[in-house]
Amino acid sequence: MLAYVLNQYGKPLMPCKAVKARILLKEHKAKVMRREPFTIQLLYGSSSYKQPVTLGVDAGSKHIGLSASTKQKELYSADVELRADIVELLSTRRELRRSRRNRKTRYRPARFDNRKKPEGWLAPSVLNRLDAHLSVIARVCKILPVKKIIVETASFDIQKIHTPEIRGAEYQQGEQLGFWNVREYVLFRDGHICQHCKGKSGDKILNVHHIESRKTGGDAPNNLITLCESCHKAYHAENFELKHKRGQSFKESAFMGIMRWVLLDKLREIYHDVQNTYGYLTKNSRIRLGLSKTHCTDAYCIAGNHNAVRLSYYWYQKQVRKHNRQIHKMKIMKGGKKKRNQSPHMVFGFRLFDKVICKGKTEFIFGRRSSGSFCVKGLDGKQISAGISYKKLKLVGKRQTYLTERREVAPPSHS
């Protein structure tokens, strides 16, 4: 395993082998700065010998692939899983805020002068992912002397994906052309017939139902279905399960279309040499090299050093939220009591997302109780213990925004 090295001023140098890092620490010539990835800082002056390092970035809406390499060998490989709860959390906050203002404030007339978005405004979900890309790239540049950054940008023709035969003026004539609103279009699309009972209930009142919650699924036609009022009420009373699934969603494609040029512009403001490449070039390189499809592999191909010896491991990182500001649960308990939404910040010396040793395995705290019982899981979601006592846990590292664990690269399958 490699150890990443900083000089006495905190600037990155070329990494060294773990054996050399162990000797430097034993002779008190260096100190430990970070456990994962393992990073040391020299306590004496060095020659500052560096090689040109290229960082390949496989940008994405759910995962980011990173690979830093020289012409000889790969120095860093990581797969970063991004947060996917921003939309739901903001929607919940909006619900609570509107409810509270309705209950506790006087009527105030609507104001429309402050509704214009400033130039360059991005939706919070997009902004969070953009900041995450900048953050993980900066973390790599702090431990390696990166000279060039290559980012894969992708453009998506969403209408072409939805309707492959579309062309010319048809781009201006969407599926809702000629309809007053989405509801009218959905009713027409479904033939004004309940899609569950097919009219057997005899109820002539039709409702438009959200297949996926409106909070996270939105009002797109592929998320709406026609139900008669009887079936609609029965579904919400949990009398049956709806077999219909929502149509293809283009959220991730839309996100990449919005973010790709903004990300490049931001990176070029910070770093000197930033280039972009495209997905078809990455795919061609991956197939030519005979590599399996992963985020780390794509990043390795993007970096362009195809003769570099690859690492036998990579760092899997999961982004988690920093704060939970909701004080009480949304559902009120019997007797009109509001249950608190969170345990104390610190419970017997442990916090949420702390890295601990549990039953001989190094995993993370994903749940805590004020009694001192903890839920411990791995980043793959596998539960180690649902409620283990704090007395049986050993703290390894304090929580961070990006939970990190080392994973071995799966050997190539031979069919």
Q: What is the C-alpha separation between 100 and 318, in angstroms, rounded? A: 34
Residue 415's pLDDT is 40
Residue 355's pLDDT is 94
Helices (H) and strands (E) in the chain, counts: 10, 18
192: Cα separation from own chain's centroid: 39
Residue type, 144: L
Distant-in-sequence, close-in-space partners of 219: CB < 8 Å, separation ≥ 6: 182, 210
Residue 104's pLDDT is 86
Q: What tens-digit pLDDT sequence spans the chain (415 residues)? A: 899 999 999 999 999 999 999 999 999 999 999 988 999 999 988 777 788 999 999 998 899 999 999 999 999 999 999 998 998 899 888 888 888 888 888 887 877 777 778 888 888 989 999 999 999 999 999 999 999 999 998 766 666 566 667 676 766 667 777 778 889 999 988 999 999 998 888 898 999 999 988 887 888 888 899 999 999 999 999 888 888 888 767 777 778 888 888 999 999 999 999 999 988 889 999 999 999 999 999 999 999 999 999 999 999 999 999 888 888 888 888 888 888 887 888 999 999 999 999 999 999 999 988 889 999 999 988 999 889 999 999 999 999 999 999 999 876 554 4
Q: What is the C-alpha separation between 296 and 57, in angstroms, rounded? A: 9
Residue 150's pLDDT is 95
Beta-ladder partners of 54? 69, 148
Would you tell me how many other CB atoms lie within 10 Å of the CB of residue 238? Answer: 7
Residue 333's pLDDT is 85
Q: Is 316 left (phi over 0), alpha (psi -120 to 50) or beta?
A: beta
CATH label, 51-96+122-162+250-319, candidates 3.40.50.1100, 3.90.1150.10, 3.30.420.10, 3.30.2310.20: 3.30.420.10
Two tokens at 47?
């020659």
Residue 218's pLDDT is 83
Is residue 332 within 8 Å of 338, Cβ to Cβ? yes
Domain locations in the chain as residue ranges: 1-49, 51-96+122-162+250-319, 175-230, 322-401
Distant-in-sequence, close-in-space partners of 132: CB < 8 Å, separation ≥ 6: 64, 80, 82, 83, 319
Residue 414's pLDDT is 46
Q: Which CATH class is domain 322-401?
A: mainly beta
Is residue 339 within 8 Å of 328, Cβ to Cβ? yes
Residue type, 207: N
Beta-ladder partners of 368? 374
Pick from 248, 207, 243: which is nearest to 225 by CA? Answer: 207
Which helix (H) or strand (E) element contains residue 252?
A: helix 251-270
The whole-model pTM stands at: 0.84
Residue 295's pLDDT is 94
Q: What is the C-alpha separation between 345 and 25, in angstroms, rounded? A: 34
Residue 335's pLDDT is 84
